[in-house]
Amino acid sequence: MVSATANIESNLVDDQTMADIGHRVERLGIEIADVNGVANELAALGVQQAQNIRTVTRTSNQVLTTSTKLASSMAEAAQSAEQAELILTASTAQIQNTITKNNNRMQELSANSLNLKESLGSVDGNVQEVRVASRAIGQIARETQLLSLNASVEAARAGDAGRGFAVIAASVKTLADQIQGFADQNAQSLEELVSVLSNLQERSHSSAQSATQAIEESAAAHEASTQLTNLSQSVSKLVKDIEGLKAPVDENIHASKSINQELSDLDQSVKHFENQLGQLQGRADSILDISEDLMVFIAQSGVETSDTKIIRLCEKAARQIEAQMQDAIAQGQLSKRAAFDRQYKQIPNTNPVQYFTEYVDWTDAHWQPIFEKVQQADPRIVFGAAIDVNGYLPTHNVIYSKPPTDDAEWNAANCRNRRIFNDRTGLSAGQNTKPFLVQTYRRDMGNGEFVLMKDASVPIYIEGQHWGGLRIGYKV
């Protein structure tokens, strides 16, 4: 009797000890899962920082390259400007000298042309006076001829007494005729002279106008020469400005080289940090695997833990899912090919992206009622859903199956059906072939919010083929 009582007490002690170990392992698993989640976030942050550093490094290299090219271009521009300044200075001096000489010559030519015009005017006046005198001589010649004629008439009346007077009258007539001939010839020469002088005056006037225009153009050329001088001065100022800009560019190049060196050192540090985080993540995953295996071992040992009720509920729901789908295939409501459809068709205008398969409409109608009962079975349960071996979750609870909106963050928390969850927890639940699996993880609820949860999963087999697993997520 004493021995039996001792055995019973010993068994009770062993069960209590195992229960205590189970609770402690559970607490350890929760802490490890939290640490693992933080390690995963740090690893992701390290990768993001490494990418940012590389992006900044590329940008800095581009700045350095651009600054170097700018410095080279500025040096070439300064050299070209200096050459242009020398050429402009020499050309401007030569142009100014030529313009000055031409201007002096034009002014002298214009003065000579104007003097010639005035002289021709004076000559024209004298010619007019000669023309008047020539006309007077002609008049005298005509009057002399008339006088000679009268004298001849009187001599004829006088007879022999008037013979001497007739000789004189004849001589006077001859003289008058000669004078008239000279007067006519002089008048003709004067007309020719007047014509020549008129042409000279027209040419002189045209030359004076050309000379005046040449002086005006010479003044315009002088103004252009002045503008060339101003341009030369502007080029000189440009050379000085380029020289002034060169110093800051050189400083920028020096600073960029220094920054690039610091970024290179930082990149090496980030790479080392990224490598260490990767190792930390791997070790954290390994520790989490060990703790989860230990929790499964304790649950399988028959010791009641806080996970036992959830595991049994998960097994029951998984068997219901299997039975429903196998009956649907047997009755021709759903083909086996459709039940194992892995051609995930992206649903347009969804963010995060949702996918459609041949069996989604059927699972929405038949599985969702099961998941709703699972969610209501225990206050700790957050969701119940089935996931295939690739992490595709076709049908979810009603609360997580809302129509998507334009707000991606809201969708991430409220539109969780028809999505692929190929994270560690999701894939493990879908690909696990052990009787059950209990995982502890940090659930991303969107908007940067995370909730520490447990995930119990049981494999689902359809006509002997592994389809995926049934998941129940619950609070720790």
pLDDT at 329 (0 to 100): 96
Verify cis geometry, omega within 30 degrees of 0, for the bond prior to 369: no
pLDDT at 1 (0 to 100): 46
Of the CA atoms within 13 Å of residue 156, those in its CB half-sphere come to 7
pLDDT at 413 (0 to 100): 92
Q: Is 387 left (phi over 0), alpha (psi -120 to 50) or beta?
A: beta
- Separation of alpha carbons 54 and 331, rounded Å: 59
Enumerate residues 6+ apart whose C-beta is below 8 A from 464. Answer: none
Question: How many angstroms from the chain centroid is the CA of residue 297?
Answer: 61
Domains along the chain with CATH numbers: 19-290 (1.10.287.950), 306-475 (3.30.450.20)
List the one residue out of 466, 274, 471 whose CA is nearest residue 389: 466
Statement: residue 319 has pLDDT above 60: yes
**Per-residue pLDDT averaged across 20-37, rounded?**
59
Statement: residue 389 has pLDDT above 50: yes
Partnered with residue 472 across adjacent β-strands are 384, 456
pLDDT at 344 (0 to 100): 97
How does DSSP assign 232-259, residue by residue?
Answer: HHHHHHHHHHHHHHHHHHHHHHHHHHHH
**Per-residue pLDDT averaged across 150-172, rounded?**
71
Across all residues in the chain, what is the average pLDDT?
Answer: 77
> pLDDT (tens digit, 9 = 90+) per residue, 447-472?
667 778 899 999 999 999 999 999 99
Statement: residue 279 has pLDDT above 90: no
Cα diameter, the chain: 225
Among 232-246, 307-321, 334-348, 412-426, name the one with the lowest average pLDDT. 232-246
pLDDT at 471 (0 to 100): 97
> pLDDT (tens digit, 9 = 90+) per residue, 46-66?
667 677 777 877 777 777 787
pLDDT at 51 (0 to 100): 76
- The pair of structure tokens assigned to 321 is 């899912």
**Radius of gyration for the chain, computed over Cα atoms and rounded to the nearest angstrom:** 61
- What sign results for the dihedral spanned by CA atoms 138, 142, 145, 147? negative
Statement: residue 13 has pLDDT above 50: no
Statement: residue 71 has pLDDT above 80: no
- Separation of alpha carbons 76 and 72, rounded Å: 6
> pLDDT (tens digit, 9 = 90+) per residue, 93-133?
766 676 677 667 666 766 666 666 666 666 666 667 666 76
Q: Is 461 left (phi over 0), alpha (psi -120 to 50) or beta?
A: beta
In this structure, what is the dihedral angle of CA atoms 106, 111, 114, 120, given to the nearest 10 degrees? -120
Q: What percent of the chain has pLDDT over 70?
A: 58
> pLDDT (tens digit, 9 = 90+) per residue, 325-373?
999 999 999 999 999 999 999 999 999 999 999 999 999 999 999 999 9
Instruction: Note whether 228 and 134 are within 8 A (CB).
Output: no
Residue type, 196: V
Q: Where are the beta strands (DSSP E) in 61-198?
A: none
Among 127-131, 375-379, 386-390, name the one with the lowest average pLDDT. 127-131
For the chain, count helices (H), then strands (E). 8, 8
- Separation of alpha carbons 194 and 124, rounded Å: 7
Of the CA atoms within 13 Å of residue 29, those in its CB half-sphere come to 25
What confidence category does residue 199 fall into, taking pLDDT thresholds of 50, 70 and 90? confident
End-to-end Cα, the chain, rounded Å: 43
Residue type, 269: S
- Separation of alpha carbons 119 and 50, rounded Å: 98
Is 359 strand, coil or helix?
Answer: coil
- The pair of structure tokens assigned to 191 is 């007309």
